[in-house]
Chains A and B, each alone.
Chain A
Amino acid sequence: MHRSIEELQEKAVEIRKKILEISAIAGGGHLGGSLSMVEILVALYYHAMRYNPKEPRWPQRDRFVLSKGHGILGLCPILADLGFYPEELWQDYGRLDSAFGMHPNMDKIPGIDMSTGSLGHGLSVGVGMALAGRLDQADWRVFVLLGDGELDEGSNWEAAMSASHFQLGNLVAIIDRNGLQVDGSTEEVMALEPLAEKWRAFGWRVIELDGHDLHQLVEALDSLPPANSTQPTCIIAKTVKGKGVSFMEGKGEWHYGGLDEEHTKQALEELERSHPGRR
C-alpha cells in the first residue's frame, strides 16, 4: 500500500504518542532514543520494507535488526499497528513474564528478527543475514538500525569491514545520529567525526540526510541499489534525541526515564499540535 509523505508524517506523530502511552505503562523507558528514530522506522515499515504480519518469519521478508535494542519503545507500536500482534501484548509491559522489556526478544515478540540489547552486535548479525540472503540468491535486504553512541563498540567496525569485503549490497546500516549518549555528546565522550568519511573509508556507500525528513528518507530508501549489488549502504540520519517533545529535545537526561502526569499531558498536547494537517 502506497502512502503519501503526509500520511507517513501522520504515522510518525501517532507512533510518538504511542511511545509515551507505552512508557507510562512500563513506568519509564528509553524515551530520547526511541523518539529520535521514529521517522526512520516509519519510512522503513510503512514505505520500504517487505514483510507479512500474518507470517512473521516469512523467508522472503526484508530483515530488520534493531541494534540499538533499547529503542524498542519506538518499534513496539509500529509492529502492533501493522498487525503483527494486538496492543494487548504490551499491557503488562515490563512485568513478570511480559513479552516486552527494555530490549526486544525475537522469540516472544512477533516481527522481531533478532534479539538485541547489548550494543555492537546488530551489524555483525546483519552481515550474517546478508550472507545467508546472498547464498540463497534472495532479493530481500537487511536493515540494521544503530545508535551513534553504539559506534564506540569496536565490533561495529569489524562488521563494517566485513560487509564491504563480502560485497553485501543487500545490507543497509542506518545510524540514528542524535549526537547524544549517556555521558554527554558523542563528540565529548568519544568523538565519532568525521563519521561519513569513516564509513566511506570502510568501503560503504554513504548517504547523509535529515532523519526527521520523510521526503529525504523515502528518497534514500527508494534509491537503494539492488540486493545483488556489491556495496553496502550506510545512511547517516541526523536526528534530535527526544524529537517531538520540546522539553526532551536534545536533552541527554531523557535518555532513560518516565514522565509524570503533567509532563505527559504537555507532551501529548505538543504532539497533537504537530499533526501535519494542523500545523
Chain B
Amino acid sequence: MPQGFFFNVLDVDKFATRDVYGKVLAELAESNRDIVVLTADMRLSNKTNDFAKVHPDRYFDFGIAEQNMIAAAAGMATCGKIPFVSTYAAFASLRCAEQIHTDIAYPNLNVRILSTHAGLSLGDGGPTHHAIEDIAIMRSMANMTVVVPADAKSCAKAIEESVSYQGPIYFRLGMGAEPLVYKGDFDYNIGKANIVREGSDLTVIACGICVMAAEKAARKLEKEDISVKVIDMHTIKPLDTETIIQAAKETGKIITAEVHNIIGGLGGAVAETLAEHGLGIKFKRLGIPDVYSAIGPPDDLYARYGIDSDGIYNASKKML
C-alpha cells in the first residue's frame, strides 16, 4: 500500500466503524479498479479521506450537494463503476430519497450508499440530523438491500462482500465508535442473520448498536437463569425470515430493538413476518415511539427510549 498501512479484517479491533470503511475501501480498491468513492463535504467526518489519500483519482467530493452526488453515482454505475457514496443518513435517506429511488433502485444499479451517523448517533444534532426513518424508506424501495452492521468488523465484512454483490445497497452506519460484538473471525453474509447468543426463554432481534445492548442485557439475564437468544439481524432486506420463524417457534417470545422509529423498521419487518406465518407469539418492538427525538447525548437518548441494555433488560423481564 502506498501509504504504508495494511488492513486485515481479523486485525480490526483497534478501529472504530467510522475508521474502518475508508481503510477497507482503500484496500479493496487496490485490486478493483472500478471502485470509486463519492462524498459531500464529509471527507473528514466520515473518514473517507483514508481512501482519498491512497486513490485521489477515484475520489470525488461533490460539496454540499447530496442529490447531485447520488445521481452522479448512478451515472457512474451505468458505466461499470462501483460507487460507494457517503454522507449522513439523514440527508441520504430524506433529501436524496428520490434520486436513490429513481436513479439507483429503479434501474437496479450497483451503487453502495454508506449512510453514516444514522439513528440518534448525532444526539445533540437534533432531529434535523437524526435518521430514524431511513430503514422504512429504504426497505420499501424495490431492488434495494438494507444492511445495518453492528460493529466495525461486520461493517468491514459487509463492505468487502458488497463489491461483488448485484444491485444497490444501503449501509446504515452509526457514529462509528460502537463496541465490538464479534471476536476473532466469523461468518457474515448479507441476507443471513447471525446468532450472537443461543437462548431458550426469549429472543431479542436487533440491528446496529442494539445488538451489543441486547448481548449485555442477555448476560445480565443469564445471571438470573433467564436464557435469551440474541440475533444480529444485520440485513433488514432481504430479510432472513427463516431465522425469525425458527426463533419464534423455539422461544415463543420476541423483542426487536433498533435505533429507528418503531414504524417501518426492523420491528415492523419482523412483525410482518410473524403475522404472515400465523405466529401469534408475545412480541414487542423497541425503538423511538413515533416522536422526533429529544436532544441530548446518544447514550441518554437510548436510555430515554429504552433501547439500551437496561431498556432491553426491562422489556425482557416484563415480557417474561
Contact = CB atoms under 8 A, between A and B. Distances in A.
B57 A115 contact: no
Interface in A99-149: 106-107, 113-115, 117-118, 121, 124-133, 135-136
Given A128-B74, A129-B78, A135-B81, A158 B65 contact: yes
A107 to B, nearest CB: 6
Contacts of A155: 67-68, 71, 99
Interface in B51-82: 57-58, 60, 62-63, 65, 67-81
A159 interface: yes
B165 interface: no
B68 A129 contact: no
Contacts of B81: 132, 135
Interface string A138-181: 00000000000000000100110110011000000000000000
A26 to B, nearest CB: 21
Nearest to B68: A158
Given A115-B102, A125-B75, A131-B76, A159 B107 contact: no
B149 to A, nearest CB: 26
A165 B68 CA distance: 13
Interface in A55-71: 59, 63, 65
B103 A135 contact: no
A162 B98 contact: no
A129 B108 CA distance: 16
B36 interface: yes
Contact of B74 (A125, A133, A136): A125
A132 B99 CA distance: 19
B186 interface: no
B68 A124 contact: yes
Question: Interface SS of chain B: helix, strand, loop or mixed?
Answer: helix
Contacts of B79: 59, 63, 128-129, 132-133, 136
A72 B140 CA distance: 28
B247 to A, nearest CB: 37
Given A118-B102, A129-B79, A155-B68, A135 B58 contact: yes
Given A114-B107, A115-B106, A132 B75 contact: yes
B67 A125 contact: no
B3 to A, nearest CB: 21
Contacts of A65: 75
Nearest to A128: B75
Given A106-B107, A162-B62, A124 B102 contact: no
A135 B71 contact: no
A25 B291 CA distance: 50
A125 B81 CA distance: 13
A5 B80 CA distance: 36
Contacts of B106: 115
Interface residues of A, number: 30
A129 B107 CA distance: 15
A117 B103 CA distance: 10
Contacts of A124: 67-72, 75, 99, 103
A131 B81 CA distance: 10
Given A106-B107, A129-B76, A155-B68, A135 B36 contact: yes
A159 B99 CA distance: 13
Contacts of A135: 36, 57-58, 81
Nearest to B79: A132
A13 B58 CA distance: 45
Contacts of B36: 131, 135
Contacts of A115: 102-103, 106-107
Contact of B71 (A59, A125, A130, A166): A125
B68 A114 contact: no
B75 A126 contact: yes
A202 to B, nearest CB: 13
Nearest to A116: B102
26 contacts: A63-B79, A65-B75, A106-B107, A113-B78, A114-B75, A114-B78, A114-B103, A114-B107, A118-B102, A121-B71, A121-B99, A124-B67, A124-B69, A124-B70, A124-B72, A124-B75, A127-B68, A128-B72, A128-B76, A129-B75, A129-B78, A131-B60, A132-B78, A135-B57, A155-B71, A161-B63
Interface of B: 36, 57-58, 60, 62-63, 65, 67-81, 83, 98-99, 102-103, 106-108
Given A124-B70, A126-B75, A129-B75, 5 more contacts: A115-B106, A127-B72, A132-B75, A162-B62, A162-B65
Chain A to chain B: the 4 pairs with minimum beta-carbon distance, closest first: A128-B75, A124-B71, A128-B72, A132-B79
